[in-house]
Amino acid sequence: MGKNSDRESLIRLIVNTVVHEIVLDRTNKPESKNFLASEVIEYRSQTEKTAKKHHWNIDDKALIEQKAQTKVKERLVLKYSDISYQEQDIINKLNLIINKFLLL
């Protein structure tokens, strides 16, 4: 795959990771926690693998962060409207993932 395609895949993986982390932190369904935790681990692993394929410059990182933030909000509204969260939670989790995996 090319860099643009990998960037879109990376955005999708980051969004899935952040959404599952927020839902895991905020869910009141204990029976869902094990599944959510395993999903977070899997998405993080795939994120790391995809991130290692290319060198990501500052513009790439900014675009990835901006698109991922928008998509996380959309996903939480559409699929998890019963979950309350702070926008700062999204920003913090995105920054952690981007700084960890895209500064390789």
Domain count, the chain: 1
One-letter amino acid at 49 equals K
Q: What is the mean pLDDT of residues 18-46?
A: 94
Q: Would you say 20 and 76 are in contact if contact means Cβ atoms under 8 Å apart?
A: no
Give residue 8's pLDDT: 96
pLDDT higher than threshold 70 for residue 4: yes
Q: What is the mean pLDDT of residues 84-101?
A: 92
Domain assignment of residue 78, given as a range: 3-101
Separation of alpha carbons 69 and 44, rounded Å: 16
